[in-house]
């Protein structure tokens, strides 16, 4: 008998055919990846963090491979909200999967503006709020590093939109659970974690030899940290859905995140090595559930809860 396995999940009201999506900033707006994988098979798409005005980003070098990972200092290069709405979203909306737009800003007003503007756009089903951006009104400290500021920001965004809000947490804090709780109290519908870890390395290869790169560390070397941060949030009793990410390369990695208690996963750095990683993880989840005689991903998640 060929029983259909149900991989669908509902994250904060966003219905996804499976729990796998790209991590913001590693998938652009889908144009390049559309030639390398079947976007219509994904659970959702998440855009590059988009700002009010276009941003060129940081000068080169912006990427360095390090043992077990990657350091990036892209600097939120993006074409700005108006071009994203007129040129990028109509394309991304054509795959029949939910489109989540990641937003970032330098002031609370920027976030409010972006939220209001995007709430008018038909293709969008949810927003991911990147709170790792520096808050210029607070001397450049990231919005997500202070629970009071993070809570106030999410509250202001909540005031102007009914769209589901997924708050993307930075791991560069002493206590991530306190930030998650502040986001929940201010009206977040889900949290996603982890963003990259602040890191620095010296470049030894011929191009840019001797220069330092300071940026965000991602990839398999951060997976144990991501799993620990997820546990901290679960232990603090945060009840809203979690989207887990950080170093997922294979279905086994994704299963560890589900065991840790997330409802969905995002995949970033792995796609640079193998653009089909997301599709392979989706296929792998289906195979795993079949082998375990489970019929749905929610059954697997219920099983993890009981552990």
Ligand X SMILES: Cc1cc2nc3c(=O)[nH]c(=O)nc-3n(C[C@H](O)[C@H](O)[C@H](O)COP(=O)(O)O)c2cc1C
Query: Hey, which residues are catalytic here?
Result: 133
Checking DSSP bridges between strand 9-11 and strand 45-46, what pairing results, if any? Answer: unpaired
Name the closest residue to ligand X (Cβ).
25
For residues 127 and 137, what is the distance between their CA atoms, to the nearest angstrom?
23
Q: Which is nearer to ligand X, 59 or 237 (CB)?
A: 59
Cβ 236 to ligand X shortest distance, Å: 20
Q: Which is nearer to ligand X, 70 or 242 (CB)?
A: 70
For residues 18 and 296, what is the distance between their CA atoms, to the nearest angstrom?
10
**What DSSP designation does 93 have?**
G
Residue matched to tokens 């804090």: 173
Count helices and strands in the chain by DSSP H and E runs = 10, 14
List residues near ligand X by CB under 6 A.
Answer: 23-26, 48-49, 70, 72, 74, 76, 102, 130, 168, 195-196, 218-219, 222, 245-248, 267-270
Q: Which is nearer to ligand X, 55 or 158 (CB)?
A: 55
Cβ 4 to ligand X shortest distance, Å: 29
Task: Identify whether the C-beta of residue 135 lies closer than 8 Å to the C-beta of residue 93.
Answer: no
Cβ 50 to ligand X shortest distance, Å: 8
Cβ 302 to ligand X shortest distance, Å: 26
Element (H, E) at 20: strand 20-22
* Phi/psi of residue 262, nearest 5 degrees: -85, 160
Q: Which is nearer to ligand X, 58 or 298 (CB)?
A: 58
């Amino acid at each position: 008998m060929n029983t259909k396995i149900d991989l669908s999940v509902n994250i904060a009201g966003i219905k996804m055919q499976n729990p796998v999506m790209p991590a913001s900033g590693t998938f652009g707006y889908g144009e390049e990846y559309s030639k390398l994988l079947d976007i219509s098979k994904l659970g959702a798409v998440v855009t590059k963090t988009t700002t009010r005005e276009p941003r060129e980003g940081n000068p080169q070098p912006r990427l360095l491979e390090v043992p077990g990972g990657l350091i990036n200092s892209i600097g939120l290069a993006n074409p700005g909200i108006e071009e994203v709405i007129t040129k990028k979203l109509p394309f991304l909306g054509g795959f029949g999967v939910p489109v989540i737009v990641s937003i970032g800003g330098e002031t609370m007003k920027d976030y409010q503006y972006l939220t209001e503007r995007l709430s008018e756009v038909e293709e969008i089903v949810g927003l991911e709020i990147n709170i790792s951006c520096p808050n210029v009104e607070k001397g450049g400290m990231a919005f997500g590093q202070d629970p009071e500021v993070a809570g106030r920001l999410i509250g202001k965004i909540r005031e102007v939109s009914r769209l589901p809000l997924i708050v993307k947490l930075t791991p560069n804090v002493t206590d991530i659970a306190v930030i998650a709780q502040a986001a929940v109290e201010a009206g977040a519908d889900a949290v996603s974690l982890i963003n990259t870890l602040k890191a620095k390395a010296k470049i030894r290869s011929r191009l840019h030899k001797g220069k330092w790169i300071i940026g965000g560390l991602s990839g398999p070397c951060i997976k144990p940290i991501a799993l620990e941060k997820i546990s901290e949030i679960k232990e603090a009793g945060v009840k809203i859905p979690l989207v887990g990410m950080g170093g997922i390369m294979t279905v086994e990695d994704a299963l560890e995140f589900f065991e840790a208690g997330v409802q969905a996963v995002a995949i970033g750095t792995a796609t640079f090595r193998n653009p089909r990683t997301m599709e392979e993880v989706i296929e792998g989840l289906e195979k795993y559930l079949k082998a375990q005689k489970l019929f749905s991903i929610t059954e697997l998640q219920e099983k993890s809860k009981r552990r």
